[in-house]
């Protein structure tokens, strides 16, 4: 069994229009929601074996909140260019590259790729995974390369507005 966690980056800022898309930081709501979701999820799941992020600033900033919640450092985060606005095939390619020594992985990615891939993998019909949303998926395989050929079951789907989270 493998477990995959898909995390959409927290809400980003459009305040500075001179920034490239990949350089946009989190806005006030994103800075509030990312640590709240990370702390909430720390209570729901074991620490994933690997953390992989799109190289965009907003996904890395989101990921750092999760790393800190699990007692890890930013240096524990792997960056993958293919996750920057990647589609389902790009996301799957990153997953296929995972070592089978890893039983669980968390990917910090963008929409629409996250929603499309979660729905494709689980046969669910999630309309839109909002910012800071997380989907946990259990995969009935021992080989990451076989994930599109195995049974995949949604374990959970959480997002900030759907939870009554305390302010940190």
Residues 56-69, mean pLDDT to the nearest whole number: 98
Tell whether 39 is covered by a domain.
yes
Q: Residue 167 pLDDT more than 60?
A: no
Listed range (47-61, 121-135, 154-168) with the worst mean pLDDT:
154-168
pLDDT at position 37 is 95
Tell whether 48 is covered by a domain.
yes
Distance of alpha carbon 45 from alpha carbon 51, whole angstroms:
14
pLDDT digits (tens, 9 = 90+) for 26-56: 999 999 999 999 999 999 899 999 999 999 9
Q: What's 98's domain CATH number?
A: 3.40.50.1240
Tell whether 31 is covered by a domain.
yes
Tell whether 168 is covered by a domain.
no
Q: Is 123 helix (H, G, I), strand (E, B) or coil?
A: coil
Distance of alpha carbon 28 from alpha carbon 126, whole angstroms:
26
Cis peptide before 112 (omega within 30 of 0): yes
Q: Residue 150 pLDDT more than 90?
A: yes
pLDDT at position 50 is 98
pLDDT at position 162 is 79
Torsion, Cα 10 29 69 57, to 10 degrees, reads 40
What six digits make up the tokens of 59? 């996904």
- Choose the most confident range, by mean pLDDT, from 40-44, 61-65, 84-88: 61-65
pLDDT at position 166 is 54
- Report how many domains make up the chain: 1
Q: What percent of the chain has pLDDT over 90?
A: 90
Report yes or no on whether pTM surpasses 0.85.
yes
Tell whether 15 is covered by a domain.
yes
Domain range enclosing 30: 2-162
Q: What percent of the chain has pLDDT over 70?
A: 97
Residue 58 is assigned to a ligand binding site: yes
């Amino acid at each position: 069994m493998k477990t995959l966690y898909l995390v959409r980056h927290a809400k980003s800022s459009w305040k500075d229009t001179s920034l490239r898309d990949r350089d946009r930081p989190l806005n006030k709501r994103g800075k509030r929601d990312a640590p709240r979701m990370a702390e909430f999820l720390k209570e729901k799941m074991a620490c994933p074996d690997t953390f992989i992020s799109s190289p965009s600033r907003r996904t890395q900033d989101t990921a750092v909140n999760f790393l800190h919640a699990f007692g890890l450092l930013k240096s524990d985060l792997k960056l993958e260019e293919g996750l920057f606005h990647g589609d389902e095939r790009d996301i799957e390619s990153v997953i296929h590259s995972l070592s089978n020594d890893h039983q669980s992985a968390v990917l910090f990615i963008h929409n629409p790729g996250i929603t499309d891939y979660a729905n494709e993998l689980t046969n669910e019909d999630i309309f839109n995974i909002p910012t800071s949303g997380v989907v946990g998926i259990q995969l009935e395989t021992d080989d990451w390369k076989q994930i599109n050929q195995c049974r995949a079951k949604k374990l959970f789907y959480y997002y900030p507005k759907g939870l009554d989270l305390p302010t940190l």
